[in-house]
Amino acid sequence: MSTLSPTPIPSSAASGTKRERRKEARPGELLEAALDLFVEKGFAATRVDEVAARAGVSKGTLFLYFPSKEELFKAVVRENIAGRFAEWNNELETFAGTTSNVLRYCYQVWWERVGSTKASGITKLMLSEAQNFPEIAQFYQQEVILPGQALIRRILERGIARGEFRPVNMDYAVYLVLAPMIFLMMWKHSVGACVPDALGLTPELYIETQIDNILHGLCVRPDAASPPPPPLA
């Protein structure tokens, strides 16, 4: 009995398939390389030819996908931060627990997906360089800061509407929630380098402490017991 051997794939077709896979991977590789360099060196000091070299492509190839360094940076922000807001808003819509648990989950997810990653260095970059690049600053405000504040506001409003949180000044309460996140990003990329190892902190424990304090101030507490009546004369 004869056996059929598989029809060999022409080498040109095989190499074509590899090239197609390689082409599909290039934008992601470029964004990863760009994130590394933007966090390491800042926006001004990062050169597109360095990004291309780290991704293993030519500068011309980079410009096929991203026509300028500004557009490359915007794509990095959308890939790592701004593009997550739709997902986070959907999670809020379907969350069945208390608003205290929503806020705890919010911090946990933020730390896992942004705070503990290289993407958290983008905040430090913006704080350092936004004044010199107003177009980038405006982009970051529209696609990160405003959606982030809106999401936190929705969480706080949820708690107030359900009678779980007391009414607060929403404009300032948003920053109450943001402050621990900003501190951790600065600690990870700046402050931590100045602090001896013996004084290091565990981010998860820091977050837990901060959320306990925030909820202590936000949550509605039962009224204090009425004072006892005065003694009879």
What does the pLDDT read at residue 201? 83
Instruction: Name, in order, each residue with C-beta under 8 angstroms of 180's C-beta and a sequence gap of 6 or more.
Output: 107, 206, 207, 210, 211, 214
Between CA 155 and CA 162, with CA 160 as vertex, the angle to 5 degrees is 95
pLDDT tier at 194 (50, 70, 90 boundaries)? confident
Residue 47 pLDDT > 50, yes or no? yes
Kindly list the domain boundaries of the chain, sorted by start residue: 19-73, 81-218
Which residues have C-beta within 8 Å of that of residue 118, sequence separation ≥ 6?
A: 35, 36, 39
Which whole number is the average pLDDT over 66-93?
95
Higher-confidence position of 195 and 107: 107
Instruction: State pLDDT tens for residues 204-219.
Output: 999 999 999 999 999 9
pLDDT tier, 222 (very low <50, low <70, confident <90, very high otherwise):
confident
Q: Does the pLDDT value for residue 223 go beyond 70?
A: no
Res. 3: pLDDT tops 50 = no
Listed residue (60, 84, 73) closest to 33, CA to CA: 73
Please state, in angstroms and rounded to a whole number, the distance separating the CA atoms of residues 61 and 45: 21
- Coil/strand/helix, residue 117: coil
Question: What is each CA distance from 47 to 57, 60, 73, in whole angstroms?
Answer: 14, 13, 11
Quick: pLDDT tens for 114-165: 999 999 999 999 999 999 999 999 999 999 999 999 999 999 999 999 999 9
pLDDT exceeds cutoff 90 at 231 = no
- The CATH code for residues 19-73 is 1.10.10.60
Confidence category of residue 26, pLDDT binned at 50, 70, 90: confident
* Higher pLDDT pick, 12 / 213: 213
Where does 81-218 sit in CATH, by number? 1.10.357
Count the Cβ atoms, other than its own, within 10 Å of residue 28. 11
Residue 196 vs residue 142, higher pLDDT: 142
Long-range contact pairs involving 42-45 (C-beta distance under 8 Å, separation at least 24)? 42/125, 42/128, 42/129, 43/69, 43/73, 43/125, 43/129, 43/133, 43/136, 44/129, 44/132, 44/133
Sign for the CA dihedral angle at 113, 116, 117, 122 comes to: positive
Contact present, 220 and 164 (Cβ < 8 Å): yes
Residue 225: band (very low, low, confident or very high) from pLDDT cuts 50, 70, 90:
very low
Note whether 19-73 and 81-218 share their fold.
Answer: no
Q: Higher-confidence residue: 185 or 193?
A: 185
Closest Cα partner for 125 from 168, 80, 64, 63? 80
Contact present, 110 and 179 (Cβ < 8 Å) = no
